Amino acid sequence: MFTLPLDLSRTRILVTNDDGIHAQGLKVLEAIARELSDDVWVVAPEMEQSAASHSLTINRPLRLRKLDERRYTVDGTPTDCVLLAVNQVMKDARPTLVLSGVNQGSNIGEDVTYSGTIAAAMEATLLNVPAIAMSQHYEPGQPIDWSAAAAHGAEVVRKAVTVAWPKNVLLNVNFPARPAAEVTGIQVVRHGKRKIGDELFERVDPRGKPYIWIGTLRGEADVSDDTDIHVVFNGGISVTPIYLDLTHTPTLQTLRQAFV
């Protein structure tokens, strides 16, 4: 059942991600979860599933492996992991909160439409479990500093679950690329939008066959200060509610008139 606010001392937390079971960000998120509860379970993909979006594996069987007590891996997508965790691994006592991440790289603006990290939180939400996706921004070519997520992650969750957000809503949290002590604060903001890039690399492989590698999808642009993009790039932690009903209600009447 979707129940908020939550008493974290009695909360059963499912931890998952899209970077895979061995990812550093998953270790950070496990530590965050254990600050909040003693009842923490991990079900994560065997391999990296970045940009998997909300994909479900239906054309082959899935392998679920137990690695340790309350720790499992699935040879599938983040969506698969949450589905199997809730309906198989934890079926006798479902999770009361799902945490997804901490993703290696931010999920801001239109990133949310591609993100496997957010997709895991979406699947939990569809299964009536409150969910929070977390991502750590970093600068290309620089070592990833996880300290912002590690230091502030538990605080974000504690504050978020003190209020009731509706069913079909999940939270998207992004940490800035700066040390924990330099974080400027936490802001609840909307998603921004960036300029779409067109970086495609055309090459020839060792066997003489051409291929195309997609590079940077988005260039930075001036964005409003009430967006996740602005907050994260200026040293803050962004929190954005995502609503899973994608219907554009104002257009319903317009279209109905066209189909009279």
d(CA 7, CA 17): 23
Q: Residue 112 in contact with residue 71, Cβ under 8 Å? A: no
pLDDT at residue number 128: 96
Q: How far apart are CA 4 and CA 129, in angstroms?
A: 10
Percent of the chain with pLDDT strictly greater than 70: 95
Task: Provide the CATH topology of domain 8-193+222-259.
Answer: Stationary-phase Survival Protein Sure Homolog; Chain: A, (3.40.1210)
Q: Which residues of the chain have pLDDT under 50?
A: none
In this prediction, residue 170 carries a pLDDT of 97
Name which of 47, 110, 115, 41 is nearest 82 in CA terms. 41
**Predicted TM-score of the model (pTM):** 0.92
Nearest to 120 by CA among 134, 104, 110: 134
Residue 121 contacts residue 131 (beta carbons within 8 Å): yes
Binding region: 18-19, 50, 103
In this structure, what token pair is assigned to residue 42? 């991990």
Q: Match 């990296």 to its residue by tokens.
A: 48
**Which residue numbers belong to the known binding site for a divalent metal cation?**
18-19, 50, 103
Q: Strands (DSSP E) along the chain, which ranges? A: 12-16, 39-45, 64-68, 71-74, 97-104, 131-136, 169-175, 186-188, 195-196, 200-204, 210-214, 218-219, 237-243
Q: What is the pLDDT of residue 214?
A: 77
Rg (CA), the chain: 19
Burial letters 197-215, b for 16+ CB under 10 A, else e = eeeeeeeeeeeeeeeeeee
In this prediction, residue 94 carries a pLDDT of 96
User: Over the stretch 95-111, which tens digit does the pLDDT of each residue have?
Assistant: 999 999 999 999 998 88
Q: Where are the domains of the chain?
A: 8-193+222-259
Predicted confidence (pLDDT) per residue in 8-26, tens digit: 989 999 999 999 999 999 9
